[in-house]
Amino acid sequence: MADVEERIKEFVRERGVQVVGIAGPDRFEGAKMPSLDLSYSMKGAKSLVAMAFPMEPGPIYDFLSKKSPAPHNFDQFLKYQKLFRVEDALARHLESLGCRARAVPLSADYRPLPYVFSTRPALSLRYGAIAAGIAGQGWSGNVMTKEYGAAIFLGAVVTDAELKSDPLIPAGYFIEEFCRRCRRCARVCPSGMFDGKEEEYVLYHGALHARGKRHGIDRCNISCFGLHSLSADRKWTNWGLHWIDAWVEGQPRGEGKAGLVWAMLKKGLTTGDSEPRFHVLKKLCCILYPENVFLKDIPALSGFPAEEEARYRILAELMRRMDIRGIEEYPIPMICGQCALVCGPTLEETDRRYKMLISSGLVVPGEGGKMVRVDTFEEATALRERYPLRIPASRMLRDAMASIVLWHRHYFGLGIPSLRQGFRYRRALGKALRKRAG
């Protein structure tokens, strides 16, 4: 008879999620980063079941090649909710066996901190996947699986059951086998978040895990919220609507955190749609909706219409059902994430995706606000000048106030236990780095 761990994994696989692993109590001992404290998500939690679900390659190709952002966004809507549903089913199954369990939100579940844009996860699904042996650290800070690379959705369930851990993927496996020969993820962030050469480390389970040095989470926020979509060489964009004018001649150098925060706020508080775009992610990843919300009168991805306006209408309808208003004219909430999207399961596939992106051209708002693809920076600039985005001051003010309320209501606080854990973790990391240096 199969043991309980194997039965748990089979339960998940039967529901369509094939990559699943378990981290038992031994994986959460000693000094650890705050986002691996299971008790923060559920008091008394001792073990974690991690899951990885692939993004569909076809929509990724459409997204990176500038054919259309809609199929990938649609895929995210469906996959986030499917994975959340599997989490919920597993949590209820474990409870039926006499255990306590909780499905972990898939994103936008951050710890309260004085700087509300720190986006520190309540429980890091990335590090949970490492702990459960289904993933390893990649150069960009995204984690990679052997099956899919980094283009994955992650989920987890925490439980008070004392489960046996699966084997870990060795620290540095993906860095040595893939990343040092690739590092394309470092080249595809419009805000230049990642260093292409220099490394930094995270400490987990007594081992140092290398990744590319990151230049601050604010750069990621700037790109992923669509505040700056233009590449440093001005040859391509992501699907964002905006450019930060001071960055058009090149990404900021030596600007410091204050300069980045000012650039982010200055642009973010004038877009008129920052709050609803983030609210899509927050609701999609933290609320499990009835299945008919995303399935009733909605085609499957294989039957997604070819006409772009019809695709936008479907996405706008899904957001209407989630009670989100304010981005109907451009219902594309997920406009970046390119550091994960380019990272396929092989170096050859990653190279293919990277070449798609850097040869894809630029998209900018054109007549009527519709996104138009062009080949050159000069054409993009001409369109932006001819069809400037005109956002009413009342809408900007309304959105700015709503954004301030949302972020400070949900993510502002001192979080003394987290700060204390963070101090202990940084001390342990420093000790490990000194020991490594010899």
- Average pLDDT in the chain: 94
Compute the average pLDDT of residues 63-73: 97
Instruction: Give me the pLDDT at residue 288, please.
Output: 97
Q: Please tell me the least confidently modeled range out of 9-23, 181-195, 241-255.
A: 241-255
Compute the average pLDDT of residues 322-342: 94
- Considering the domain boundaries, does residue 248 fall inside one? yes
Instruction: Give me the pLDDT at residue 414, please.
Output: 87
- Considering the domain boundaries, does residue 121 fall inside one? yes
- Considering the domain boundaries, does residue 365 fall inside one? no
Full domain range(s) for residue 199 = 4-360+392-437
Compute the average pLDDT of residues 237-264: 85
- Considering the domain boundaries, does residue 379 fall inside one? no
pLDDT tens for each residue of 122-181: 999 999 999 999 999 999 999 999 999 999 999 999 999 999 999 999 999 999 999 999
Compute the average pLDDT of residues 228-239: 96
Instruction: Give me the pLDDT at residue 416, please.
Output: 87
Confidence of residue 410 (pLDDT cuts 50, 70, 90): very high
Q: Are 236 and 362 in contact (CB under 8 A)?
A: yes
pLDDT of 217 strictly over 60: yes
Query: Residue 237's beta-bridge partner residues?
Result: 230
pLDDT of 254 strictly over 70: no
Q: Taking the model in full, what pTM does it have? A: 0.95
Residue 45 CA to residue 39 CA, distance in Å, equals: 5
Compute the average pLDDT of residues 380-404: 95
Compute the average pLDDT of residues 389-399: 94
- Considering the domain boundaries, does residue 126 fall inside one? yes
Instruction: Give me the pLDDT at residue 2, please.
Output: 57
Contacts 24+ apart (CB under 8 A), 428-436: 428/30, 428/31, 428/203, 429/201, 429/202, 429/203, 432/201, 432/203, 432/206, 432/208, 433/201, 433/208, 436/208
**126 or 328, which is more confident?**
126
pLDDT tens for each residue of 88-102: 999 999 999 999 999
pLDDT over 70 for what percent of the chain? Answer: 98
Q: Are 260 and 216 in contact (CB under 8 A)?
A: yes
**How many folded domains does the chain comprise?**
1
- Considering the domain boundaries, does residue 378 fall inside one? no
What is each CA distance from 2 to 5, 9, 100, in whole angstroms?
8, 11, 21
pLDDT of 67 strictly over 60: yes
Compute the average pLDDT of residues 293-315: 94
Instruction: Give me the pLDDT at residue 1, please.
Output: 34
- Considering the domain boundaries, does residue 33 fall inside one? yes
- Considering the domain boundaries, does residue 164 fall inside one? yes
